[in-house]
Amino acid sequence: MGWRGFRLLASQILGAVLAWVLWSRVSKDSSLAWQAVVALLGAWLAGWIWWAVDSWNAGRLLAWLRQSELGNAPELSGVWGEAGVRMRRWLRQSVHQVQQGDQRLNDILSALQASPNGVVLLDAENRIEWCNQIAARQFGFDAERDLLQSIGNLVRDPEFSAYFAAQDFSGDLLMQGRESTPSRPVRLSVQLYGYGEGRKLLLARDVTALEQAEAMRRDFVANVSHEIRTPLTVLSGFVETLQNLPLDAAERNRYLGLMAQQAERMQHLVEDLLTLSRLEGSPLPSSKDWVCVAQLLQRCEDEARGLSVMLTRKQALPHVLTFPSPEALAEVGDVAGSSAELQSAFSNLLANAMRYTPAGGRIDVSWSMLADGSARFAVKDSGPGIDPKHVARLTERFYRVDHSRSRDTGGTGLGLAIVKHVLQRHGAKLSVSSVQGQGSEFAVTFPPSRLRGLS
């Protein structure tokens, strides 16, 4: 019968008893029949009153449930009061669960937003449900305007359209990014993953740097192979000649001299490669180790004059080299960094100038303090100059303006690459100015933080 039925029956019994008692006190006719009728009327009236109160409570509870805001719950008693309490508790739990679900969803979307890769969520009809900012930039989407737009209408790259139409998403697709330009290409790796009921997850990764690194690796291997193949071919030919042909002492000595020259060329190449490897893999030089600029330039001068003699030994006119005077160097302070690396960079700039400057040409070396507290080391030559189209690529590995001349003078094509790495490690900048037919100037600028005066 339940609790409500028991309360109804109890109300009716109480009404019948009250009606019986009241009728017995106020009426002179106390026959049993009339008392039974009055008790039945009392039970009927009590039942109607209970039903009215119960319906009113149920109506209040229903009106509260129909509201959009369920915060102000009515204070009820009885069964409806307990039902209201239980409903409030259930609603609080439901709201809490919804809030937790929303928070988890927001956390997931925030994580996807922070992803370095582009993420796009597509519904079963291939419309955009959500995308992060990286994907919006990669594909040119507007995160708000393009919601529920078909991905096929927004990404019109033919390769992507074919990939999407094939419905074979086992591999990725390499395509151009929206920001790609001829001077700055952008390559994307795009792959689709199915999930849910027909939905798709699109991931886009910028692989421009990876492809450039791979291209650089291929070029590097090809260049090294090419640079080593020539001297090896020469050596192999001379060795075969020495083994198979009877030669007099003069011819033998000439061949051995040429073989030594090629071996030395390969040795220089290996040394430069090892220098680059060491620079790329070693910690940055300390800013607390100080190098005396005067001593550094003196060592560079001694090395440069020796190289000039070797390069111009077949010509009558040597290079004209000018360095700062001892008096001027006496007023120069120190530069922070690695003495060996700085000497390597300066010596490579000097060697580069001498290799491209004909015998009898002039090479001026200077060190000067600038108004902002920085210092400038410069090597200026009177060589043939450099075409402006080559200037931006001078520090690339194995890049040569004149291939034949560089090889004839013993260059490896790595000198300026070594200079670039050394200067980057010392916070310095390299600038190149050149006029064809009038020579070139390579200048290094050190920031004030890397310099100190004489104590």
pLDDT in tens, 315-328: 667 888 999 888 88
* DSSP at 185: -
Instruction: List, as one string, the DSSP characters of 374-411.
Output: -EEEEEEE-S----HHHHTTTTSTT--SSHHHHHHTT-
Residue 229 is predicted with a pLDDT of 80
Whether residue 10 has pLDDT greater than 80: no
Instruction: Provide the pLDDT confidence category of residue 7 given band limits of 50, 70 and 90.
Output: low
List Cβ<8 Å contacts ≥24 apart for 163-169.
163/190, 163/192, 164/126, 164/192, 169/193, 169/194
Which pLDDT belongs to residue 342?
A: 93
pLDDT per position as a tens digit, 206-236: 888 888 778 777 777 777 777 778 778 888 8
CATH code, residues 116-206:
3.30.450.20
Average model confidence (pLDDT) across the chain = 80
Two tokens at 367? 């060190």
Where is average pLDDT lowest: 66-75, 300-309, 352-361? 66-75
Evaluate if residue 364 carries a pLDDT over 90.
yes
The reported pLDDT for the residue numbered 1 is 44
Angle at 20 between CA 17 and CA 26, to 5 degrees: 140
**3-class secondary-structure state, position 254:** helix
Parse the chain into domains and list their residue ranges.
Answer: 2-88, 116-206, 212-282, 284-452
Helix axes 2-26, 78-113, angle to 10 degrees: 150
Output the CA–CA distances (angstroms, integers) from residue 94 to 72, 89, 99, 100, in the order listed. Answer: 17, 9, 9, 10
Confidence of residue 399 (pLDDT cuts 50, 70, 90): confident
Residue 449 is classified by DSSP as G
Q: List alpha helices for 282-393, DSSP H.
A: 293-311, 326-329, 339-356, 388-391
Return the ∠ at Cα 45 (arms to 18 and 75), rounded to 5°.
95
What number is the average pLDDT over the span 52-66?
72
Least-confidence region, from 58-62, 147-151, 280-284: 58-62
- Residue 421 tokens read as 């790495």
pLDDT band, residue 367 (cuts 50/70/90): very high
Containing H/E element for 194? strand 187-195
Burial per residue of 218-251, b for 16 or more beta-carbon CB atoms within 10 angstroms, e otherwise: eeeeebbeebeeebeebbeebeeeeeeeeeeeee
Query: Tokens 């319906």 appear where?
Result: 55
- For 72-118, what is each residue's pLDDT tens digit? 666 666 666 667 677 777 777 877 788 888 788 788 778 878 888 88
The SS3 of residue 285 is coil
Any idea which residue has 């690459």 for tokens?
417
pLDDT exceeds 70 at position 3: no
Distances (CA, A) of 1 to 5, 14, 81, 206: 5, 18, 19, 71
d(CA 351, CA 415): 8
The pLDDT of 239-258, averaged and rounded, is: 84
Least confident of 28-37, 133-142, 421-430: 28-37
In tens, the pLDDT along 111-142 reads 878 888 889 999 989 899 888 888 888 888 88
At residue 363 the predicted structure's pLDDT band, cuts being 50, 70 and 90, is very high
Quick one: average pLDDT of 275-301?
A: 86
Are 177 and 138 in contact by the 8 Å Cβ rule? The answer is yes
Neighbouring CB atoms inside 10 A of 190's CB total 26
**In the numeric block, which tokens belong to residue 218?**
């291929």
Query: Does the pLDDT at position 380 exceed 90?
Result: yes
Q: What are phi and psi of 176, to 5 degrees?
A: -75, 140
Answer left, alpha or beta for residue 411, where phi above 0 means left and psi between -120 and 50 means alpha.
Answer: beta
433 SS3 class: strand
The domain 212-282 is placed in CATH, from the list 1.10.287.130, 3.10.129.10, 3.50.50.60, 1.10.287.70, at 1.10.287.130
Going by their DSSP bridges, the two strands 362-369 and 320-322 should be labelled as parallel
Task: Determine how many CB atoms are found less than 10 A away from the CB of residue 120.
Answer: 26
- Predicted local distance difference test score (pLDDT) of residue 444: 94
- Predicted confidence (pLDDT) at residue 454 exceeds the cutoff of 70: no
Neighbours of 112 (CB within 10 A): 19
Fold of 284-452: Heat Shock Protein 90 (3.30.565)
Please state at what angle helix 2-26 crosses helix 32-66, rounded to 10 degrees: 140
CA angle, 211 then 212 then 213, to 5° = 90
pLDDT(161) > 90: no
pLDDT at 147: 86
Closest CA to 151 of 119, 114, 113: 119
**In a 10 Å sphere around its CB, with 0-12 CB exposed, 13-18 middle and 19+ buried, how is residue 390 labelled?**
middle
What is the DSSP code (8-state) at residue 152? H
